Amino acid sequence: MTQAQRRVGMVLARASRVLGEEPFYHEFIEGLERVLTPAGVSVLVKVVTDRQAETETYERWAGRRRIDGVILVDLAPDDDRVALVDRLGLPAVVLGAPSAASGLPTVWTDDAGYARDAVRFLAGRGHRVIGHISGPLSFVHSRLRREGAQAEAAEREVTLVQAEGDYSYESGRAAVDELLARKPTAIVCDNDLMALAALDALRERGLAVPSEMSVVAWDDSPLCQLATPPLSAISHDVAGIGEIAARAMLDAMDGRPPAVYQAPLAHLVARESTS
């Protein structure tokens, strides 16, 4: 391929409905394209239903020489995709924890630290029982967030009650039902869509936000500011993360040694959903 024909691929093993609703990857891809398009590199995104289909996609892309590199997301512990891209000879960049990347270049965010920030913020506002709706615990970053939240809750001597979602609106509503039986006064959600679902579920149950329940979201997409009430959130520069991943991808395609690239630091933005 010539420089102008280069492509970077990203496969997302998510239901297309969930991906269509979730703002994170829209902003992330926008950041990728800001850097890659001027460099003559296009972005090819494919949504599949499971890991087997994802593996088959990489093998097909490599066999047909359709792409020059891949971005790996949602890594699991001992993820076999790391060895797969090495076997296929595909330059790759991991969005996630370096511990899961086995020597691949990594764009890293401090998931455990930011989960601690959310619990610390709520504990500082007097909450003694805090709910946490995580993403799938098959993902390393979800486990790190859960571990960070647990560690901070233990240090603050508050009770942490936890439920698992899959980033969809429906899973957020179901998780709220699970948590309410354990009587939290605040809930941290691992993405903005589940936080919006939490607001709706609480409203339907007659629980006022923030006077009876506080809610914190994760990515701080525009949905957080448009919510009623506006959502407090761990605010990430998601497009900026995409730009860094794009530069890491260009480095990988140029054969530079793997490195850990620090994502822009996130911070908690307090809005009307936290009392």
pLDDT digits (tens, 9 = 90+) for 244-271: 999 999 999 999 999 999 999 999 999 9
pLDDT digits (tens, 9 = 90+) for 96-121: 999 889 889 999 999 999 999 999 99
pTM of the shown model: 0.92
Domain coverage including residue 204: 111-235
Q: Are strands 232-235 and 267-269 parallel, antiparallel or unpaired?
A: antiparallel
pLDDT of residue 19: 55
Residues 213 and 249 in one domain: no
pLDDT of residue 23: 86
pLDDT of residue 2: 43
Residues 257 and 202 in one domain: no
Residues 119 and 224 in one domain: yes
The 10 Å Cβ neighbour count of residue 270 is: 13
Chain mean position to CA 180:
24
pLDDT digits (tens, 9 = 90+) for 159-209: 999 999 999 999 999 999 999 999 999 999 999 999 999 999 999 999 999
The H-or-E segment that residue 235 falls in is strand 232-235
Q: Does residue 115 lie in a domain region? A: yes
Which CATH number does the domain housing residue 86 bear? 3.40.50.2300
Residues 48 and 79 in one domain: yes
Q: Does residue 84 lie in a domain region? A: yes
